[in-house]
Amino acid sequence: MKMLRVDMARQQATWEPVPPVYERLGGRALIARILLEEVPATSEPLGPANKLILAPGLLGGTAATCSGRLSAGGKSPLTGGVKEANAGGNAGGDLGRLGIRGVIVEGQAPPGELYVLHVSADRAELVPAHELRGLGTYATAEALKARWGAHCTVICIGPAGERRLAAAGIAVTGEGRQNSRHAARGGLGALMGSRGLKAVVLDARGAPVVPLAEPELFRRASRRFARELIESPKTGKKGSSHLYGTASIVSAVNELGALPTRNFREGRFEQAENLRGETNREITLSRGGEMGTRCMPGCVIACSNVFVDPTGKPIVATLQYETIGLLGSNLGLGTLDDVAELNYLCNDLGLDTIEIGAALGVAAEAGLARFGDKEGFAALIHEIARDTVLGRTLGQGVVVTGRVLGVSRVPACKGQGMPAYDPRALKGNGVTYATSPMGADHTAGNAFGARNEVAPLAIEGHPALTRRLQLGAAMLDATGLCLFARPPVWADPQLMVDLINGCYGWGWTVEDLDRFCRQILRDELEFNRRAGFTAAHDRLPEFMMCEPLPPHNAVFDVPQDDLHAALAGL
Amino acid sequence: MKMLRVDMARQQATWEPVPPVYERLGGRALIARILLEEVPATSEPLGPANKLILAPGLLGGTAATCSGRLSAGGKSPLTGGVKEANAGGNAGGDLGRLGIRGVIVEGQAPPGELYVLHVSADRAELVPAHELRGLGTYATAEALKARWGAHCTVICIGPAGERRLAAAGIAVTGEGRQNSRHAARGGLGALMGSRGLKAVVLDARGAPVVPLAEPELFRRASRRFARELIESPKTGKKGSSHLYGTASIVSAVNELGALPTRNFREGRFEQAENLRGETNREITLSRGGEMGTRCMPGCVIACSNVFVDPTGKPIVATLQYETIGLLGSNLGLGTLDDVAELNYLCNDLGLDTIEIGAALGVAAEAGLARFGDKEGFAALIHEIARDTVLGRTLGQGVVVTGRVLGVSRVPACKGQGMPAYDPRALKGNGVTYATSPMGADHTAGNAFGARNEVAPLAIEGHPALTRRLQLGAAMLDATGLCLFARPPVWADPQLMVDLINGCYGWGWTVEDLDRFCRQILRDELEFNRRAGFTAAHDRLPEFMMCEPLPPHNAVFDVPQDDLHAALAGL
């Protein structure tokens, strides 16, 4: 394994051996450590000292199913703290097969210059890319594949990232039609744009198979891992994940009363039925779209879809739960066609649908659009495309939008907009949002899947639960595993240990794995501490502590002191 | 002495005795303590839990000259931390004579309602004031004086405060034509607006003389205090303060290379000559304006002026140094007429000229106006008046403006725009900006006056200096004294002790006074600590640490660790 260090100021890409301090780290774990070692925590996120890190997880590139997620990271332009966001698609697997532990993009290209980083098995170079300026993510990927070959994987930003908007994410190409996956959260697209880097093209053709230290151990574990996923009633071919995708939970979240509706005013949406995964399947298949597709090779779950318009033309792949919650019910929009249209606009500009959905909800609260009026919201996204002051405000995310428009009902933690679970009706997620070093994040420790373990409306029990979930999420994010693939490795961590030992021969125990996960959160919390975060920042917005959420009329009332238990003494 | 507690939710104003916990506190000291005791530090500044406090200093209402400043305070909508801003005019003296230690405005009026608080010697009541909605500060003061009598003092907000813009200040009427004084900094106008309070009318007619515990001691000290000011070459009738006002320092700051020029790009302005206090005197007197006027009764310095246009029509009173720096050189504007016009617009909207000057500089950097083009900047202020999205952005202050417009050269500390001393060329002020609990503030510990003690460009010596200055500033702000009146009491703190003992009979020593001052900063730092501030927030913007400032080509290079010495172990 090696590292690729990219100096944007000098336009040099240099291979280097993995330094001892970064050994045995991957994905999110590697990002946290690099930030601690190399980026002053108080530096300006868009200034010269910040670094963009792209890294596969420890299992990236191996034959382990669902292990090819790409982690992107840096000091967040949105939160000012540590940030890792990951995406499916082909990039994580490609980097793993190319033997690259991480790409560290540092410094800034001279003002006005724009580059593409091309990486293949034997070389890495920065290529001027002025012709891509202002292009959307779809056109950028198309142009780069036309130039470098359709087999290449493209990691890129849209105009939002070029303009350094804090709601900008990073898009990654994957399998199938229209496929666009996003490391969306935390403004990492703005960080990439601020380096002067428009895209990374990965050509893994001719890359050798990832070497395995203990091939038998790995193959046995890998086969068991896949088999358990295939045989599971949830993730197997008859499971809801495969049949209905992430949107399979719309009904359940709505039933729970936690579906963000009209800027988090209600927890149930009267048109939720139309937004369900089941409805998506029906519509999509009847129009010639696709359900049960994969975002990365070798995935045995295949939870994706290609949403098409009534004429069969692909709009987005894949239409996901969080997007449906934030761009759908949160805006009072009750058709998947409306959601898909806004989703496409965000994807193409390279914007996080969660952050923008939250910002649009706040804009509607301020009277700039009507809940339920898709045209109004599309017009607001076009303001972002046109780079107007209003558009720039929205593009900076929900907190800046609330500040500028004078709205105090701002659903965010540590500067990041909330995903599609109102924490008043699912208090475990409130604890995660408040305490995660990432800010409000649905992948950092989502209590929805554990709603039968701790009552979502109870005051007690959430901190211990989310501590476990946050550690489990860190494990997935550091190994490159998809959240949907968690059940086998969470149920039996020895399986994960076997995968890692099979690959690397480190002789880890379950205790080593646990230490590894705790160290990730410790590193992240330490970076945030240095950046100026304290327990005072571990909190939900004030309105959620006093404004009851229908239908349960619950407020978020987990005592502030209890929250701190979640990640204490890691 | 008594307290006036105003419950905006129930529209009740209630007199109460001064609680023991607030005894022996005035002005800024009282504000810090009330915030610690009554306002959760993590609460939303514009939410129901914050409180607006209006308080005279300990000497307010007495015959001690220059002691009538009004302190306004609360949790700052701009910085999120503790905030005290004070203003001249008649309000501090009136409150003192009315025997009011502090007015605590809490809760929020129902949405859409707006009130005026009328306070006289025997009663206090809230009166609906819908007819004042949207009125500028000048028209508001005029309307309220027409209704309640020209002898009344008006404390009010303009449209900016009503709209809860974080650059909104609080205006106070004073002596003479066009007089408009502002407790401008930190967004306290937005806090007042968020309570639904448009104005406070003080009628001190018939109020008794402030009782004195040791009349002889007080009179002796008070006479000595006035005499020293009168006899001083600086504050006396032939002194620069009286002759040229606060703008008397324009040349010296320009010479020092610390005059903010074109968004803090340069430290000398080629047209500084035209902005000098000497030029102001010449222009003003030639046009029939006034120099050497007072803002409050009994002031022996009289540093104010009434700036008039070429026809003799009053524009603003008083035209001040910080305004000239931020709305003049910082915008590349080289005539006092231009500065006065923008100053008037800000005053009338109820906006902090420092914060708005800084925001306009950043807007020019983003290309929304040209440096030197007064019409362009006036048009931007009109955007604020028209409540457009751009106007709201500017009105939220320089940090939000930089964020939305994508400018990284943002001159601010802890969220507050910098006053008119570039800290690269006057490093002591950089230490104050970075470490003061108030954020960047020219009254919190201004090293300009001590520039002959510690070399402004040296790396060493500033923390100890600004510690002394910050303690001295706290003394002034807690007693109601004007910054210009500091020399006698800073040179001999026993004089201040005598004034306080003469008034209250507390038998304080100089050590007691020192303890009192240290406690103010301790209380403020404790509030900020609870609000989430750490040493990581004690820093200047990144660009000032790496971008050399002409003409000295200095960067701010006081080591971060040294900064913390300034207020350590208080």
Q: How many residues does chain B have?
A: 570
- Say yes or no: B469 and B401 in one domain: yes
CB-nearest partner of A390 from B164, B389, B400 = B389
Distance CA B154, CA B486 (A): 27
- Say yes or no: B45 and B169 in one domain: yes
Work out the minimum CA distance from A423 to partner chain B, whole angstroms.
19
Compare all CA atoms of chain A with the CA of B396 and give the residue at the minimum distance: A404
- Say yes or no: A181 and A258 in one domain: no
- Say yes or no: A236 and A103 in one domain: no
Q: Which residues of A touch B41 (CB under 8 A)?
A: 536
Work out the minimum CA distance from A45 to partner chain B, whole angstroms.
10
Q: Are A316 and A242 in contact (CB under 8 A)?
A: no
The tens digit of pLDDT for each residue in B442-471 reads 999 999 999 999 999 999 999 999 999 999
In a domain, A186, yes or no: yes
The tens digit of pLDDT for each residue in A310-362 reads 999 999 999 999 999 999 999 999 999 999 999 999 999 999 999 999 999 99
Q: Which residues of B touch A163 (CB under 8 A)?
A: 406
CB-nearest partner of A389 from B390, B396, B542 = B390
Q: What is the pLDDT of residue A178?
A: 79
Q: Is A78 on the interface with B (CB under 8 A)?
A: no
- Say yes or no: B407 and B351 in one domain: yes
Which of B171, B203, B235 finishes a domain? B203
CB-nearest partner of B542 from A44, A390, A533 = A44
The neighbouring-strand residues paired with A173 are A180
Tokens of B517: 């001052």
Q: What is the pLDDT of residue B473?
A: 98
Q: Is A379 on the interface with B (CB under 8 A)?
A: no
**Alpha carbon A539 to its chain's center:** 21
Compare all CA atoms of chain B with the CA of A160 and give the residue at the minimum distance: B406
In a domain, B212, yes or no: no
The tens digit of pLDDT for each residue in B519-566 reads 999 999 999 999 999 999 999 999 999 999 999 999 999 999 999 899
Q: Is A405 on the interface with B (CB under 8 A)?
A: yes
Q: What is the pLDDT of residue B507?
A: 98
Q: What is the pLDDT of residue B124?
A: 98
SS3 A63: coil
Q: What is the pLDDT of residue B178?
A: 79
CA proximity to A435, closest of A570, A246, A256: A570
Collect all residues with Cβ–Cβ distance below 8 Å to B470 and sequence separation of at least 6: B432, B435, B436, B444, B445, B521, B566, B567
Domain assignment of residue A228, given as a range: 223-563
Q: What is the pLDDT of residue B480?
A: 98
- Say yes or no: A396 and A501 in one domain: yes
Q: Which residues of A touch B400 (CB under 8 A)?
A: 400, 403-404
- Say yes or no: B273 and B348 in one domain: yes
Would the pLDDT of B497 be above 90?
yes
- Say yes or no: B398 and B293 in one domain: yes
Work out the minimum CA distance from A540 to partner chain B, whole angstroms.
11
Which of A148, A172, A203 finishes a domain? A203
Q: Is B311 on the interface with A (CB under 8 A)?
A: no
Q: What is the pLDDT of residue A122?
A: 87
Work out the minimum CA distance from B569 to partner chain A, whole angstroms.
20
Which parts of chain A sit beneath pLDDT 70?
none
Q: What is the CATH number of the domain that holds A273?
A: 1.10.569.10
Q: What is the pLDDT of residue B70?
A: 98
Distance CA B258, CA B420 (A): 8
Among the residue ranges B119-123, B363-367, B489-493, the one predicted with the least confidence is B119-123
**Alpha carbon A54 to its chain's center:** 13
Q: Is B379 on the interface with A (CB under 8 A)?
A: no
Q: Are B106 and B4 in contact (CB under 8 A)?
A: no
Q: Are B230 and B239 in contact (CB under 8 A)?
A: no
User: Considering its fold, how many domains does chain B have in total?
Assistant: 2
Provide the mean pLDDT of chain B.
Answer: 97
CB-nearest partner of B406 from A41, A47, A163 = A163
In a domain, B46, yes or no: yes
Q: Which residues of B touch A537 (CB under 8 A)?
A: 532
In a domain, B298, yes or no: yes
- Say yes or no: B239 and B199 in one domain: no
More confident residue, A106 or B179: A106
Contact call for A42 and B539, based on CB within 8 A:
yes
Q: What is the pLDDT of residue A543?
A: 98
Residues 36-75 of B with CB under 8 A from A: 41-44, 46-47, 49
How many Cβ pairs closer than 8 A exist between chain A and B? 76
Collect all residues with Cβ–Cβ distance below 8 Å to A236 and sequence separation of at least 6: A229, A230, A242
- Say yes or no: A190 and A228 in one domain: no
CB-nearest partner of A400 from B165, B403, B529 = B403
In a domain, B509, yes or no: yes
Does this model's pTM top 0.95? My answer is yes
The neighbouring-strand residues paired with B179 are B317
The tens digit of pLDDT for each residue in B49-64 reads 999 999 999 999 999 9
CB-nearest partner of A396 from B42, B404, B539 = B404
Q: Is B306 on the interface with A (CB under 8 A)?
A: no
Q: Is A294 on the interface with B (CB under 8 A)?
A: no
- Say yes or no: A162 and A252 in one domain: no
Q: Is the peptide bond before A318 cis (omega within 30 degrees of 0)?
A: yes
CB-nearest partner of A542 from B44, B166, B536 = B44
Collect all residues with Cβ–Cβ distance below 8 Å to B20 and sequence separation of at least 6: none
| One-letter amino acid for residue A551 of the chain | P
The tens digit of pLDDT for each residue in B434-444 reads 999 999 999 99
Would the pLDDT of B122 be above 90?
no
In a domain, A216, yes or no: no
Q: Is A563 on the interface with B (CB under 8 A)?
A: no
The neighbouring-strand residues paired with A54 are A72, A103
Q: Which residues of B touch A408 (CB under 8 A)?
A: 44, 46-47
In a domain, B213, yes or no: no
Q: What is the pLDDT of residue A345?
A: 98
CB-nearest partner of B47 from A42, A44, A408 = A408
**Alpha carbon B6 to its chain's center:** 23
Strands, DSSP E only, in A2-159? 2-7, 12-17, 51-56, 70-75, 82-87, 100-106, 115-120, 124-128, 153-156
Work out the minimum CA distance from B489 to partner chain A, whole angstroms.
37
Distance CA B190, CA A96 (A): 53
Tokens of A455: 């009552």
Distance CA A377, CA A395 (A): 13
Q: Is the dihedral of CA B503, B506, B511, B513 positive or negative?
A: negative
- Say yes or no: B179 and B289 in one domain: no
Q: What is the CATH number of the domain that holds B181?
A: 3.60.9.10
Compare all CA atoms of chain B with the CA of A546 and give the residue at the minimum distance: B48
In a domain, A423, yes or no: yes
Q: What is the pLDDT of residue A451?
A: 96
